[in-house]
Structure 1
Amino acid sequence: MTQLRRIKRSVVKRAIYSVLIWLLSFLWFVPIFWMLTTSLKPTTVAVTENPPRWIPNPMTFENYAAVARAAGGINVGRSVWNSVIVAAIATVAGLLVAVPAAYALARLRFPGQRIIFWTYVAILAFPSVLFLVPNFFIINRLGLMNSFAALILPGLGGTFGVFMLRQYMLGIPRELEEAALIDGCSRLRILTRIVVPLIRPALVTLGIMTFLGSWNSFLWPLIVLTSSSKFTLPIALVRFSAGWGDPYRGIGASMAAAFISVAPVLVIFVAFHKYLMRGVSLGSIGK
């Protein structure tokens, strides 16, 4: 009887968890679906229809055409391309810096190693907004204002990425590296041929997080960018919505531009969600 009760409790718990997950998924999906349907409605219908209709009838793509022809004075298409360039370079460069840094903290022994590591841990406790002023002065002194480099350089070697990869690397058996050292492999070859393939889930996770963080960044680009030709998508969305003057007049086009910004995030999450979950769960385990 005791075992039967445990089975029943387990089934009930799973059922409750499933209901909660589906409920949260529904609450998360509804605003995105409403954004999509509103972007496919004529502007007059989107604003005046009462009660609002979930399925657009008639359906139109005029709002996406308005985004494509830079209505409101903001070229959203160019801003999408700018965001893709910045996010892609920031992701690749961030991984190239974080991997060797994490390996050095996880495996090498050198003076000040523990101080550097605990400094990284301490930095994680501070909100990123505290670093806006020093980053601004550094970028300004380097003459990189209003450039893509100003968006990419401050994020290289992010503390969270180095910390996560280090914790992941600590779970790799040292015997693999010791055997490679006996065979004459250099540290660089061990890193590229043994360590990197074993931490692939963590690399994918960190790559996704870095890409999405750069893609959604608003405050820092707003500070360092002054030219509309360099605007990334979050800034362009705000300027695009404000460029209509009357918010009701441009609500359909604004929803279309917002859905364009959300679509890549949805595609990335659906395509890599297994790596994302696996990397987060395993990367948090270290010796």
Structure 2
Amino acid sequence: MTVTTAPVATSPATPPVAPPPRRRGLARLPFSAWHLLLVPLALVFAIPLVWLVLSSVMSDAEINRFPPALWPSGIDLGGYRYVLGNAMFPRWFANSLIVSVVAVASNLLFGALGGYAFARMRFAGSRLLMGLMLATMAIPFQLTMVPTFLVMKRLGLIDTLGALIVPSLVTPFAVFLLRQFFLSLPRELEEAAWMDGCSRLRVLFLIVLPMSRPALSTVAVLTFLTTWNDLTWPLIAINHDTQYTLQLGLTTFQGQHHTKWAAVMAGNVITVLPVLIAFLVAQKSFIQSITSSGLKG
């Protein structure tokens, strides 16, 4: 007896898919296409800084010439010699450095304490206090400088560096930014530390803050930038030249009848260098903090 089997139907072979034709005329760029927009934009923002550096090595005659010279005919360091030869310039630099460093340290400490309290502790009125604190950021300084001056006068701090330090000990921005960053951190590590017997302060300083270096770097850079470049409040609170900050001292180079523009430009170059170096050092942490802290409210 023979068994017949039905022929098995075989599907026709699928023809290979041809790769899509390559587009001609579109060369692959060795960099991102966004650089075509960002590079010219960065050059536009760099023009004032480049002009500042070039003007600092010009003579007063070249700076005052009309039309202005776009390139110095020679390197003239007379402005730098005038600035560095001023007997008060090192004192002004030291005053600005003291005020800025103390403001940065205090904002890191008090901002971390306040930000952690708002992020992890729930108490009566916490949301209301947070809202009131953020509302103070919308008040312009012109409305608060007179009350601040009266408070500093009552404390006997006018015409001292304390008048510049005390109002900058903590800012709402530092508390808010650190709070936002703390909210993005996982709670598991903190809960494990609590089970091991750590207090809240030990958890904050030993676990939370080491993970918050990007946010701390951002607060430090922005606080240093604001305090170092401040001119309005020192102009109100300081009268004696021995207590001048660097920004306030540079205004003495601008006289009523004659201004030493080469010295002003050289002084501004020296003033910009610490801020520029601080930003370049903390650039990666700065960008990481801004992107991470704004994701969660």
Give the TM-score band, short-chain normalised.
0.7 to 0.9
SS of the residue 2:282 aligns to: helix
Matched, 1:239 2:258: no
Task: Rate the CA distance shift 1:230–1:173 in 2: closer, same or farther, 3 A.
Answer: same
Matched, 1:227 2:244: no
> Gaps (5+ residues) in structure 2?
1-18
Matched, 1:278 2:288: yes
d(CA) in 2 for partners of 1:235 and 1:75? 12
The answer on whether the counterparts of 1:168 and 1:285 sit within 8 Å (CA) in structure 2 is no
Matched, 1:61 2:71: no
SS of the residue 1:217 aligns to: coil
Relative to its length, the structure with more helix (as a share) is 1
Instruction: Output the TM-score relative to the length of structure 2.
Output: 0.85
Shift of 1:51: 6.4
**Correspondence for 1:156:** 169
**Correspondence for 1:47:** 64
Shift of 1:238: 1.6
Task: Rate the CA distance shift 1:110–1:258 in 2: closer, same or farther, 3 A.
Answer: same
**Correspondence for 1:255:** 265
Task: Rate the CA distance shift 1:78–1:183 in 2: closer, same or farther, 3 A.
Answer: same
The one-letter code matched in structure 2 to 1:67 is: V
**Correspondence for 2:8:** none
Shift of 1:284: 1.6
Task: Rate the CA distance shift 1:93–1:43 in 2: closer, same or farther, 3 A.
Answer: same
> Which stretch shows the higher mean deviation, 39-48 or 262-271?
39-48
d(CA) in 2 for partners of 1:130 and 1:198? 38
Task: State which structure, 1 or 2, has the greater radius of gyration over its C-alpha atoms.
Answer: 2
d(CA) in 1 for partners of 2:170 and 2:85? 38
Matched, 1:197 2:210: yes
**Per-residue CA shift, 1:36-64, capped at 9, x if unaligned?**
1221123333333866242x332122211
Instruction: Output the TM-score relative to the length of structure 1.
Output: 0.88
The answer on whether the counterparts of 2:160 and 2:238 sit within 8 Å (CA) in structure 1 is yes
Shift of 1:19: 2.5
d(CA) in 2 for partners of 1:241 and 1:275? 38
Shift of 1:215: 0.3
The answer on whether the counterparts of 1:217 and 1:234 sit within 8 Å (CA) in structure 2 is yes
Matched, 1:81 2:94: yes
Shift of 1:172: 1.2
Shift of 1:199: 0.9
d(CA) in 2 for partners of 1:121 and 1:252? 42
The answer on whether the counterparts of 2:83 and 2:89 sit within 8 Å (CA) in structure 1 is yes
The answer on whether the counterparts of 1:94 and 1:158 sit within 8 Å (CA) in structure 2 is yes
**Correspondence for 2:156:** 143
Match among 215, 218, 221 for residue 208 of structure 1: 221
> Which stretch shows the higher mean deviation, 38-47 or 152-161?
38-47
**Correspondence for 2:7:** none
CA RMSD after TM alignment: 2.4
The one-letter code matched in structure 1 to 2:258 is: D
The answer on whether the counterparts of 1:106 and 1:169 sit within 8 Å (CA) in structure 2 is yes
The answer on whether the counterparts of 2:63 and 2:262 sit within 8 Å (CA) in structure 1 is yes
d(CA) in 1 for partners of 2:169 and 2:262? 37
The answer on whether the counterparts of 1:90 and 1:156 sit within 8 Å (CA) in structure 2 is yes
Q: Percent identity?
A: 36
**Correspondence for 2:6:** none
Task: Rate the CA distance shift 1:144–1:65 in 2: closer, same or farther, 3 A.
Answer: same
The answer on whether the counterparts of 2:224 and 2:275 sit within 8 Å (CA) in structure 1 is no
The answer on whether the counterparts of 1:76 and 1:257 sit within 8 Å (CA) in structure 2 is no
How many pairs does the alignment contain? Answer: 274
d(CA) in 1 for partners of 2:267 and 2:206? 43
Write out the 4+ residue segments of structure 1 that deviate beyond 6 Å after TM superposition.
none
The answer on whether the counterparts of 2:103 and 2:170 sit within 8 Å (CA) in structure 1 is no
The one-letter code matched in structure 2 to 1:261 is: T
